[in-house]
Structure 1
Amino acid sequence: MIFNSVTFVAFLAIVLPLHWFVPVARRNLVLLVASYVFYGWWDWRFLGLIALSTVVDFAIGRRLGGTTSDEGRKRLLAASLGFNLGVLGVFKYFDFFVDGAVDLASSVGFDASGPTLGILLPVGISFYTFQTISYTFDVYRERIEPSRRLLDFATYVAFFPQLVAGPIERAQRLLPRIQDQAGRSFPRGPQLDRALSLILSGLFKKVVLADGVAPFVNEVFADPERFGPVAVAAGVVGFAIQLYGDFSGYTDIARGVSELFGIDLMVNFRQPYLSRNITEFWRRWHISLSDWLRDYVYIPFGGNRGSSWFVARNLMATMLLGGLWHGASWNFVIWGAVHGGALVVHRFLRDGRIPGRTLRVTQIPAIVATFSVWCVSMVFFRAESVGAAADVFAAMVRSQPGESAFASVLLVAVLLAATIWLDVVQRRSGDRHDSARSLISPTGDDATATVRTSTPESSTLAGALTAGVMLVAIVVFSGGSPVPFIYFQF
């Protein structure tokens, strides 16, 4: 079930009033059933997997809460990690590692073959698995109390707005909101305005920005030799636009829909394409994953403690694992290595450990440079293989003119301008990362962080016009079958 589909609208039209009209004590039951229907819409067979993961981590969390010995608690934590990583390993990485071992054996002269499972990857498995791992870790570290009700915990794991593509919510933040059924209320006034604005902006990002540029991007990556260098470079930039519009659009819709149920989700993007360096970028892009990797990988590895080279090792290892989280492919390993290397270089430059080299650049060139690094890495993210990525790079630097695709290049330029405009509007609106700017009524509570030079009436008119333009653009760009979100594959 896809957010930008008639099916989801009908689903929401049934679930939303049912959630608010049932007795308060039954609200989580409605959410859980709805979440399982939502998830089972793709393939009902994987409902057993998410249910098993829920039961295992709930039981281990309860045992952790009643176990005082360090040895016993460590065994329980190891059991949770073993189960969750084992599930990921079988469904996502088994074939990748078997194929890698076979290739390695063949390279040294052995005629080897290995078993492959060919299992269909369950939608959202990386997201809800990381969510349950963080729960067990936090219970182990005594940061939170274990959940006492299986229904509440199951709703936390399967909560449908963020189930298949995040954000990866921590139990210490989301679980209390799930448990407090009586404290949830249907949004009114500025809260309802914010929820609807989030849904509208998310649909605009998905339908107009992402899906609008997707056909050209697909053509470029399918046959880069057909196009000239400028068109290929535009295709790469186009994919950066597509991925941002697709992923942040999903998050916006998820947050807006969640608020309709009286539950707020964390911000997962903070205008990343206005970042001035790669470190800042990773504090603004896919924040829930960045924070997860920091707290459960980077810091346990040693974090910033130790020598510069020790810290560099930790950064590289963390980003390599972050690359593998996205997919079982050497492309994602290289993608992670690019970002790990960029983070290491920036850290050395920032700390002045490279003689004579410091970061003294104005804001716009720094933003352009950071965006360029991101676009280069996107070639590995989007290409089907390392060889296909090399073909894209070769097409960008060759001397042959190829097909110009002027109209498509112009479209990319316009959509890039629209993407930056959205980021600028969010930043200028005073988004303090715990709310969204209201497009419909910017003079509400969510816009109070900004010093205004315009009257409330003009701001309201501007917001209404912006919302109208977005709505018209969504209608114009809509048509045909809804396109699945890119991060569903992870």
Structure 2
Amino acid sequence: MIFNSIDFLIFFPIVILVYFCVPQKLKKIWLLVASYYFYMCWNVKYILLLLFSTIVTYVTGLLLEKPKINRKLVVGGSFSINLLILAIFKYYNFFISTISDLCGKAGIEVTIRKMDLLLPVGISFYIFQALGYTMDVYRREIKAEKKFVNYALFVSFFPQLVAGPIERSKNLLHQIEEPHFWDTKRVSYGLQLMVWGFFKKLVIADRAAILVDTVYGNYNVYEGWELVVATVLFAVQIYCDFSSYSDIAIGAAQVMGFTLMQNFKQPYFSQSVSEFWRRWHVSLSTWFRDYLYFPLGGSRCKPLRHYINLMIVFLVSGLWHGASWTYVIWGGINGIYQIMENILNRKYKLPLISEKIGGKMFKMLGTFALIDFSWIFFRADNISSAFQIIRRIFMVNNMWIFFDGTLGTMGLDFKDMFVLFIALEILMFVSVLQYRNICIRDSIAKQNIVFRYIVYIVPLILIAVYGIYGASYDATSFIYFQF
């Protein structure tokens, strides 16, 4: 079951209706049942993995608070078990293929059978969330959760179960224990955020995906600016796709009275790569910062060691995103960006570029260009394809495609291109307001009732009319589900 499906549009209202009708003591149990049902809709068998990881980390938390126990051994065992699960289901075939390829190049024939395993949806997310809890208890930042229902709901809470945000125990666990009541304003705000998420997913992301898939799937027949357009639109696609899931998840949780962490903070307005990573997938970036980067020594060490720490974090981040060398290279490129930025900041204490509006725009565009270049490896099917795409980008300077109708032959007709353009203008307008810390929902709430309902209804009409549907449309999964 995914958010942009009829199943969810039936499931969610039922969950909300029952949730606010049952007594407080039953709300947690109902949400736990709903969350497990939500996950079972993907694959009934893999619910056992979710339950097993939950039990292991729950018991680990309890053991860590017992006196006279080897705490390092306990937490190490928990990490080993959970990471082994992740390695088997997500990385086993990747490692086998890599070993076979290396042995083949060395003239050694190795035959290791691959496993026919379906990647459990959301496994990287819920395992990281559970391990984050384990580390928080180990560091004595929180007390171990004694109530199993509370902890099981923390790990499996359905709005953010399969694609984040990766919640922290310090934020979500205490909310599970608190009573929740119907609040019209809060419910309205949550539904508005969900609608905005659906707009970004169905009107922008899935429409941009048509052009991106067409060009990247046949990159050998495109060149120059055609590939540039597709690459820029992939940056739009992945942002709208992933941030839309976060918006829907945060909005759904808000309807029920829960506050999840903000996962995206207008990342393409960043003026440096380091700022981009403070704004992009915040829950994952801060997870790696707190549980990997800082334990490695962070920046409180010699420059060389600091650069090694940065590279380790980004390589692991790349591998977290997918079992492919393209993701590892993508992570490595961003690690190199961070290291080069750090070197420049150490060498030049004063800003190299003016802080006036022109200089800020230049830095934004430069940062976007660097990030968008790395997205080529993220999107390409393999390393060879990525380098071929880069080579073909520089083959010709065919800027006439913007005027001769070529754009209409790249998967989207002119009507869809126009819809995408208008939708991007709306996205830009909203993003600028958010960047300036203007609470749009508060601003809407202050308007008269006619204006408010126009704002509520128009996005629904746009989604219904211009969302990507049709006979060939099968509720396109969110990109980050595969991670």
Structure 2-normalised TM-score? 0.91
Aligned counterparts of 1:416 and 1:310: Cα–Cα separation in 2: 42
In structure 2, stretches of 5+ residues that fail to align are: none
Gap change, CA 1:140 and 1:321, over 3 Å in 2: same
Of 453, 477, 480, which residue of structure 2 is paired with 1:487? 480
Tell whether 2:204 aligns with 1:215: no
Match of 2:433 in 1: 425
Tell whether 2:365 aligns with 1:364: no
Answer with 60-69 or 234-243: which moved more.
Answer: 60-69
- For residues 452-477 of structure 1, what are the alpha-carbon distances to aligned partners after superposition, in whole Å with 9 as ceiling and x for unaligned? xxxx548x776655544422321122
Of 285, 288, 293, which residue of structure 2 is paired with 1:293? 288
- For residues 353-412 of structure 1, what are the alpha-carbon distances to aligned partners after superposition, in whole Å with 9 as ceiling and x for unaligned? 59x983446111111111111111111111111111122212211128598632359556
Match of 2:169 in 1: 171
- For residues 68-102 of structure 1, what are the alpha-carbon distances to aligned partners after superposition, in whole Å with 9 as ceiling and x for unaligned? 44xx1011001101111101110111111111111
Matches within 5 A, 1:271-282: 271-282=266-277
- For residues 148-194 of structure 1, what are the alpha-carbon distances to aligned partners after superposition, in whole Å with 9 as ceiling and x for unaligned? 111111011000000000000011110111122xx2222322x2232
Aligned counterparts of 1:489 and 1:94: Cα–Cα separation in 2: 16
Aligned counterparts of 2:157 and 2:67: Cα–Cα separation in 1: 29
Match of 2:182 in 1: 186
Match of 1:477 in 2: 466
Aligned length: 465
Equivalent residues of 1:273, 1:423 under 8 A apart: no
Aligned counterparts of 1:281 and 1:156: Cα–Cα separation in 2: 28
Equivalent residues of 1:28, 1:152 under 8 A apart: yes
Gap change, CA 1:153 and 1:482, over 3 Å in 2: same
Aligned counterparts of 2:49 and 2:444: Cα–Cα separation in 1: 46
Aligned counterparts of 1:350 and 1:418: Cα–Cα separation in 2: 35
Aligned counterparts of 2:428 and 2:85: Cα–Cα separation in 1: 39
Aligned counterparts of 1:321 and 1:415: Cα–Cα separation in 2: 35
Aligned counterparts of 2:223 and 2:14: Cα–Cα separation in 1: 50
What SS does structure 1 have at the residue aligned with 2:443? coil
Equivalent residues of 1:241, 1:419 under 8 A apart: no
Aligned counterparts of 2:253 and 2:294: Cα–Cα separation in 1: 31
Match of 2:443 in 1: 442
Aligned counterparts of 2:299 and 2:177: Cα–Cα separation in 1: 36
Gap change, CA 1:56 and 1:125, over 3 Å in 2: same
Equivalent residues of 2:24, 2:180 under 8 A apart: no
Tell whether 2:347 aligns with 1:347: no
Paired AA for residue 32 in structure 1: L
Equivalent residues of 2:225, 2:397 under 8 A apart: no
Equivalent residues of 2:272, 2:364 under 8 A apart: yes
Matches within 5 A, 1:73-472: 73-180=71-178, 183-189=179-185, 191-352=186-347, 358-360=352-354, 362-399=359-396, 405-407=406-408, 408=412, 414-431=422-439, 437-438=440-441, 442=443, 444=445, 457=447, 465-472=454-461
Aligned counterparts of 2:6 and 2:92: Cα–Cα separation in 1: 36
Equivalent residues of 1:236, 1:379 under 8 A apart: yes
Aligned counterparts of 1:319 and 1:462: Cα–Cα separation in 2: 46
How far 1:225 moved relative to its partner?
2.4
- For residues 108-146 of structure 1, what are the alpha-carbon distances to aligned partners after superposition, in whole Å with 9 as ceiling and x for unaligned? 221222221131100000000000101111111100100
How far 1:289 moved relative to its partner?
0.2
Gap change, CA 1:56 and 1:399, over 3 Å in 2: same
Aligned counterparts of 1:241 and 1:187: Cα–Cα separation in 2: 34
What SS does structure 2 have at the residue aligned with 1:118? coil
Structure 1-normalised TM-score? 0.90
How far 1:352 moved relative to its partner?
2.5
How far 1:421 moved relative to its partner?
2.4
How far 1:29 moved relative to its partner?
0.7
Equivalent residues of 1:349, 1:359 under 8 A apart: no
Aligned counterparts of 1:281 and 1:327: Cα–Cα separation in 2: 21
What SS does structure 2 have at the residue aligned with 1:109? coil
What SS does structure 1 have at the residue aligned with 2:253? helix
Gap change, CA 1:171 and 1:79, over 3 Å in 2: same
What SS does structure 2 have at the residue aligned with 1:331? helix
- For residues 199-244 of structure 1, what are the alpha-carbon distances to aligned partners after superposition, in whole Å with 9 as ceiling and x for unaligned? 1110111011101111111001101122241121111111111111
